[in-house]
Structure 1
Amino acid sequence: MGRDLDKERFSEAEYARFGERLNEQLVVLRELLDRPGFGEGPTTIGAELELFLIDERGRPLPRNTEVRDRLGDPRVVPELGRYNLEVNLTPLPLAGTPFEELKREVQEAVAEVDGGVEKSFKGGGAVPIGILPTLDTEDFTEEAITDENRYRALSRGFRRLRLEPFIVAIDDLELSVEDVILESANTSWQVHMRTPPDRFARLYNAAQLAIGPVLSVCGNSPMFLGRHLWEETRIALMEEAADDRDVERRFRRDGRVTFGSDWVREGAYELFEQCVRDYDPVLPDLSDGAARQDVPELRLHQGTVWHWNRAVYDPVEGGHLRIEMRALPAGPSAVDMAANAAFLLGLTLSQAERDLTGYRFGEAYQNFYRAARYGPGARLSWPGRHGDFDAAELVLELLPEAREALLAHGVTASDADPMLDIIRQRARLRRTGAVWQREALVCFDGDRQRLVRRYRELALSDQPVHMWQ
């Protein structure tokens, strides 16, 4: 999804040929994964940060391509909504001081985009936040889709599959829209970790297990269209906004955005095969002349199935696998996002050594959605323990395991400790971005625009959210 397409309309013959290529490229991928030495190398991490653009009032600003062109920064690319941009951060080794470096680049990138907006449009800026509180139904029209072929084609591809409107029902909110534009209401902080093929299943399952407690202290999306909903409403909204299961696809267990329905047994190939088997193409762009090992159609198709933890194949420098962890929200500040990445990666690495035999996948599934709904007050289970536990207290108990795993993989204590201490303070005080937003809205007498303007000031200050006034 990172490149634009040459056109936005595709024939049924192109859809058929694209499907054939997917099956052909699955064979190629299996050969690559079975090749001795494939994907070996040091553990590296990377991240993508999605941002909202706002005007001087705090309302969404639909000018992403103009801001992108003004900045001229190849890291900055438009997203689906015209008020969204994405920053692709520089990959770096896990060993050393990765989280301090990650924080520094995020801080610099957000300031760059924010300054570009402010100079171009006389006010406003950029906001890293899971769901922008000032969004209204008028922001989800067809005109809000970014004016690029890939996004118009994505919209057409979904309408080809889903004949019914997209229905969003979260607590007391019910909303019907005709397009996938509701995806643009969500912005995330996506963390990548390079993973050797022989360790992929263990690490992927560990990421599925880890995300529950991590998400419980990272919530930053407590409201949508003026309603107070989940601590991380983005999870429910994204799943329903891109659900292609209409009357003809009720048989499929998982939506297009999903946590999944079982542990991975064999490895990454299992997930790629599932995506080809279970999900219809929506962007049948045929690549001619690409190298065999690039598997371009398979990678493009995988990019249109948004599992909260997703397998990624990258053909660069002989090829490697990554786990893309997509469940964390954008924001609140650069140091908060670096701390979230440290806790998620550390807990994933520590749990990869755990024997999950006897721990049902359904428990991890429930943890994820309970964490999204109730935040630090969620009741979560954990392998080797009986009963449910307060999420914030469980996080405090798991932090030493995350620290030990980070240090074992070469992260310096001077880098890991300050980041994990932010998580510790957030759990101890039960102070997340979602909590701050709820309290600030009361303080500002329900003025969502004032809330967003104040949030932007604090996010740019890079003070961790548990210290925000």
Structure 2
Amino acid sequence: MGDDVTQTEFSREHRLLYRRKVQLSLDVFETMLAQASFEFDRPLTGMEIECNLVDGDYQPAMNNREVLASIADPAFQTELGAYNIEFNVPPRPLGGRAGLELERDVRASLNAAEAKANSSGAHIVMIGILPTLMPEHLSDNWMSESTRYQALNDSIFTARGEDIMIDIAGPERLTLQSASIAPESACTSMQLHLQVSPAEFAQNWNAAQVLAGPQLSLAANSPFFFGHHLWAETRIELFAQATDTRPEELKTQGVRPRVWFGERWITSIFDLFEENVRYFPSLLPEVSDEDPVAELAAGRAPALSELRLHNGTIYRWNRPVYDVVDGRPHLRVENRVLPAGPTVIDMLANSAFYYGALRALSEDDRPIWTQLSFAAAQRNFLSAARDGMAARLYWPGFGEVTPDELVLRELLPLAHEGLRRWGVPAEVRDRYLGVIEGRAKTGRNGAAWQVRTVQGLQQRGLARPQALAEMVRLYCERMHANEPVHTWDGPA
């Protein structure tokens, strides 16, 4: 959820000062882009995995504070819900055998964390939305202890002036009102970072937007929320609605939502930050003591804290990131499309597919986004979130196509080529992209397995709540076995 803040209430004067400071930071950022003073000689990739905690009955365990104390590893941190934790994987180069090393390291870290969580009566589950989460779990003491989270909740409701309406159509439509942003905590994702140069940011972001639909079709893993069977990747629509600062009148006026796919292809990272400042009022207007103009004049990289904090409250599915590490600034594309899970090998396969296809598409002499309208890319994204592997996607040269055909005929070869350019050897490419191929051929992603398993359990006589709990138990068994989800069977 980003950097913490120190207060939950802000005066009018504070907000005005913050707006001026954000605009000043944007001007300094524009100057920095013109001077090209960014680190990008050694592109790095990073990963964040948001997880859920469950108890022995596979119900949400609201004790992340105790679990994190047991784990005692700074790589594991709190997330919005008291039943959430986040695992941050240190950045590393993409080439060579780094993928195999990453798989080994992530499994070792998660296994060690799981063993320590057990001492607090909890298990760690990597899944887009925890299927056993019910409204009663989010009524009291659901939020992690954090000034930022409380301030964000208060700011969203101050902006709205009314409760949040959740209304998600699907096989079993869900409609409810929420007096807090608690439903947002249900949405746990895997976030992929790629460090890029200013000159290459736009083509990488545009390519990532194009890939968002196919990514979701392959990786959907969130079909249940509050006991209802909804979208293949319900997390997408739930997150959008649960953080919406707009009452109905502002929606009718066309005011942009804070969870945003965007509305155009870009030519520079500056386009995105400028849109942020132009369209979105502040939610957390905390002002730092830094003078970014003086910092830049002194030859130092300014933190641009206000601009970064503002960017952290605008939830693009592919978010621009400015950061400073060891005194050197850099830029990243943060891909926020994917749900967590089901297994480490599945998540590594998803990342290999993304990084490989992104490299190939972003370096194409005739970029795909010059042949595809932005509106079509957004329609692909929403279709994939609703229908997963049953979606219909538009692709230049194919017309309307199923995800399996698009992946097998077009995107897998591109992903292989892109990873080859990254210096990833054939054995590593084959391991992870072989998982993607298997998923495309079987049509079985996490969402499909969850739905089929729950249906099977209900046909055996289990009520929906018991079927969901048993499905999560079976899911956890298979998650720890680390066999890709397309090979999973149903209940014995």
- Give the TM-score band, short-chain normalised: over 0.9
Task: Note the 1:446-457 alignment, pairs <5 A.
Answer: 446=464, 447-457=467-477
Deviations 1:411-464 (A, max 9, x none): 222211110000000100111011111121123223211111121111111111
Which residue type is aligned with residue 232 of structure 2? E
The answer to whether structure 1 residue 460 and structure 2 residue 473 are counterparts is no
Q: Distance in 2 between matches of 1:148 and 1:357?
A: 44
Aligned to 1:64: 64
Distance 2:38 2:120 in 1: 46
- 2:225, 2:234 within 8 Å by CA — same for their partners in 1? yes
Residues of 2 paired with 1:142 and 1:157: CA distance?
19
Cα distance, 1:105–1:255 mapped onto 2, change above 3 Å: farther
Structure 1 unaligned spans of 5+: none
1:113 touches 1:125 (CA, 8 Å); kept in 2? no
Distance 1:157 1:373, change over 3 A: same
Distance 1:299 1:88 in 2: 19
From 315, 319, 329, the equivalent of 1:310 is 319
**Deviation at 1:36?**
3.4
Equivalent residue number for residue 7 of structure 1: 7
Query: Structure 1 residue 377 and structure 2 residue 377: aligned?
Result: no
Map Cα deviations across residues 257-283 of structure 1 (whole Å, 9 max, x no partner): 12111111x211110111111111111
Tell me which residue corresponds to 2:179. 178
SS in 2 for 1:88: strand
SS in structure 2 of the partner of residue 314 of structure 1: strand
Question: Shift of the alpha carbon at 1:289?
Answer: 4.5
Report the CA distance shift for 1:167/1:77 in structure 2 as closer, same or farther (over 3 A): same
2:366 is the alignment partner of 1:362:
no
The one-character-per-residue Cα deviations of 1:175-203 (angstroms, maximum 9, x if unpaired) are 11011111101100000011111111111
Q: Indicate conservation of the 8 Å contact 2:156/2:244, yes or no.
A: no
Distance 1:325 1:115 in 2: 30
Q: Shift in Å at residue 253 of structure 1?
A: 4.4
**In the alignment, which residue of structure 2 is the partner of 1:211?**
212
1:254 counterpart residue number: 256
Separation in structure 1 between the aligned mates of residue 314 and residue 105 of structure 2, nearest angstrom: 28
RMSD between superposed Cα atoms in Å: 1.6
Whole-angstrom distance in 2 between the partners of 1:416 and 1:395: 15
In 1, the alpha carbon distance for the partners of 2:468 and 2:38 equals 51
Corresponding residue to 1:301 among 286, 310, 313: 310
Query: Aligned to 1:312, what secondary structure does the other structure show?
Result: strand
Structure 2 unaligned residues grouped into runs of 5+:
296-301, 459-463
Distance in 1 between residues matched to 2:26 and 2:206, nearest whole Å: 22
Aligned to 2:203: 202
- After the TM superposition, which residues 32-431 of structure 1 pair with which residues of structure 2 at under 5 Å, given as runs? 32-121=32-121, 124-141=122-139, 143-171=141-169, 172-247=173-248, 249-250=250-251, 251-264=253-266, 266-289=267-290, 292=295, 293-316=302-325, 317-352=327-362, 353=364, 354-355=366-367, 356-383=369-396, 385-397=397-409, 398-431=411-444
**Deviation of residue 12 (structure 1)?**
2.4
Do the aligned partners of 2:215 and 2:337 also contact (CA within 8 Å) in 1?
A: no
Give, in angstroms, the shift of residue 110 of structure 1: 2.2
> 2:373 is aligned with what amino acid?
R
Any idea what SS the aligned residue of 1:284 has? Answer: coil
Task: Number of aligned residue pairs: give it.
Answer: 465
Partners of 1:308 and 1:326 within 8 A in 2: yes
The 1:41/1:151 distance shift into structure 2, 3 A limit, reads same
Return the alpha-carbon distance in structure 2 between the equivalents of residues 184 and 22 of structure 1: 28
One-letter amino acid matched to 1:323 = V
- For residues 306-352 of structure 1, the C-alpha deviation after alignment (integer angstroms, 9 at most, x for no partner) is 10000000112421110000010000000000000010111111111
Deviation at 1:55, TM superposition (A): 0.5
Deviates more, 1:286-295 or 1:182-191: 286-295
Partner of 2:461: none
Residue 43 (structure 1) shift: 1.8
Any residues of structure 2 matched to 1:431-442 within 5 Å, and which?
Answer: 431-442=444-455
**CA deviation string 1:363-408 (max 9, x = no partner):** 111111111111112111112x152011111111120111101111
User: Do 1:219 and 1:434's aligned partners in 2 also have CA atoms closer than 8 Å?
Assistant: yes
Letter in 1 for 2:261: F
Is the CA contact (8 Å cut-off) linking 1:254 and 1:260 kept in structure 2?
no
User: 2:299 maps to what in 1?
Assistant: none
Q: Which amino acid aligns with 2:166?
A: V
CA distance in 1, matches of 2:99, 2:10: 43
Contact 1:379 1:390 in 2 (8 A): yes
Q: Secondary structure at the match of 2:378?
A: helix
Asked whether the equivalents of residues 214 and 395 of structure 1 are also in contact (C-alpha less than 8 Å), the reply is no
The answer on whether the counterparts of 2:45 and 2:193 sit within 8 Å (CA) in structure 1 is: yes
Flag as ranges the 4+ runs of structure 1 deviating above 4 A: none
Following superposition, the deviation at residue 37 of structure 1 comes to: 4.6
User: Which stretch has the larger CA shift, 328-337 or 431-440?
Assistant: 431-440
Aligned partners of 1:157 and 1:282 also within 8 Å: yes
Q: What SS is found at the alignment partner of 2:141?
A: helix
